[in-house]
Structure 1
Amino acid sequence: MHAMSPMEVFLLALLIIFTVPYLVWRLARTDHWAPLVVVQIIGGILLGPGVLGALFPAYYATVFTPVTVQSLTGLATWAVMMFVWVAGIELDLTEAWRRRGETGTAAGLALIVPLVTGSLAAMLLLRTPGWAGPNGATWQVVLGIGMACAVTALPILVLFLEKLEVLRSAFGQRILRYASLDDVMIWGVLALILLDWDRVGRQAGFLVGFAFATVAVRRLMAKIAEDDRWYISLIWLAACGFAADWAGLHFMVGAFLSGAVLDARWYDQERLDRFRGFVLLAMMPVFFLSTGLKTQWSVGGTAVFGAAALLLAASVGGKLAGVGLAGRILKWRPGEAMTIGWLLQTKALIMIIFVNILLDKKIITNETFTALLLMAVMSTMLTIPVVKPRLTRDRALLDRRS
């Protein structure tokens, strides 16, 4: 029998990664409650060692060899760096600052309340062993899980707002302002969690060097043609990722910062949308699979699902409570806070990226990662079915000025 070469095994893995989720999404017509990106995340979990790997170990050992996994991990790393870079570019901090009173109140409460409820859930989990990683201090685990419950997945939120046909409306732009401010806080908290006192000099050096480099890059970008900006941007992305990882802050922090300091007006919006769409279509499915390869159930499937349910309640309940409180303070219309809260509780990509970093740094265990991943999937699957009928009933939301 012909033994497959490493390249053949790699291509077979890609064939599985792209074929299985697409067929499920298309044939089962899941788009209303589980868009393709959600099916791809679930597909990554099912194709990993915890499910199909356990049921068919020979398949797993043949397809996902160490060489194949290493190749997929490299591809997934670059894919997610590009995705986070685009998310950074699309942050509209200028508008958020202009409306800082309303934005700060809504975004602040939408972040703080689920952070508290998520942290309380984390402390409850830590009463039993198996959830804290070997390198994770208690405060890092609690803060990390709490922040995972508070995260809003800005890129997925953009896709959902497009699907609901409200992205360019005043209502859609309000939602993006709130999510954008929270996105900045996510990476700030991550930097705090990853603060390494043995590397604090490197980290301080990175931040100082990044500040000077940002001034130079912004001056350069303002002077060159858009085609050149794209190429220079990728060089800038790779450099920031490398420097941040060298400093101990993780390459994803550098990827986000490299986009956040660039102006969206330097790029054609349609071209930026196409680039994000390309990364989602052609690159991110590999990241979802590599994420699924990290799922584990060794503390017991019941315990992991129980933890996921607890975290889901803390995440959704905290987000709705926080946005509801903001609505009372800002005197929003009845029902408005509930709709906004359900949109802002969308998790998926950014949260998965966030907890991937915590897992890579061994702050949390594979079991905690799996519970958080399940929570993110369930949270994201709830969004469209809940929000779509609410918007249909209350079209006045879309006519409200931003």
Structure 2
Amino acid sequence: MKKKNLLWGIIIGVIVIISGVFLINYLKNKDLEEVVVDEDPYGIEYYNVPPMDQIFVNGVVTPEESQEFYREESLGVRGDLQVENGQVVKEGTLLYSYTNEVLQKEISQLYNEAARLETDRANTAYKQQLAIDRWYESSEEERGQTLDEITMDFNLYALDSQIQEIYSNIATMEEKVYTEVTAPFEGKVVIPEEKKAEAPLLKLISENFYVSGTINEKDLEKVKVDQVADITVISNGYTTLGKVSFVDTTPTNENSDPYSGASTMSSYPVKLSFNSLERIVNGYHVQATINMEENQVVIPKESIHTEGEIQYVLVNDFGSVVRRVIQTGEETDEGIAVTSGLEAEDEIIVSSQIEVNEGDLLNPEMMEMEMEMDIESVEVLEGE
């Protein structure tokens, strides 16, 4: 009888546990079902930029000048660095120096040799003067030499020539004992963290940047120097203005696939300059847009925001709010003309019932995923 009661107790316990699991899952799903996201919770009014003929340039932010400095054993022993990591230095600033200890020893030996010769010259000059004094004290009959012959015998000119040559060599060698390495241009110092033998001692990177990009052959004849370009940082969507500064007509790659032999389009290097370097960082990947049409886009005045001297609009970029810096032209009854800064089919936010800011997510699915993640995080914390 006791065994039978025990068996029924176990069965009832299992049923209670299973019911509890189902109940927990039901309540969790119910909570998620209550998270309903409207298609447009912000109540946004958009202005869609019409299609335009545009050329896109993919590139990387590159410093105007960059140089690496390596150890040069032939110059001698290197001294301590005279600059710090991240320091901005002017052209001609001392970075570090070398001391050639081998030359120093040779110079020391030459100084000793010069001192010995100067002593010999002093003794020789003294003897010569004694001979000249005796010549003057003796009668003409007793004089066996002329003064010129006496001078030639002691040959002070030869000693003077040797001494002069030694000091000339010393001066030449002293110029090579100390070698100063200075900044060839103004820039920022970058000192690698790892101190490897093959690694550079430091890098000097100018703070002026440009876009190093490429275009394909079908766009080569369309792109001209001084064309205005909208440059967008891919990682954060920030857009600034620039222009084409150089177009190379030498392709960067072959016009066929080396494996299949199929014909491919060649790529040509282009450079674009920035109107402003604000929020531009060395190494950023960017995409530049060049509008080939002269027709200006007129957008609603209320969609334009101002920050200091900068004008910008907020754009729905695949569900995220990004800022596009623009240049504007004349104001008309229809709105304000935009000369650059927009891309074809941009969805410009004109107004919204709820304030939106750069970086906000507008995609309902992405918002729902974030809410689900927040709920799960709360449940984990509550469970702890």
Calculate the TM-score normalised by the size of structure 1: 0.19
Greater relative contact order structure (CA < 8 Å, 6+ sep): 1
Q: Which structure is higher in helix share? A: 1
Q: Give the TM-score of the pair, scaled to structure 2.
A: 0.20
Which structure has the larger Rg? 2
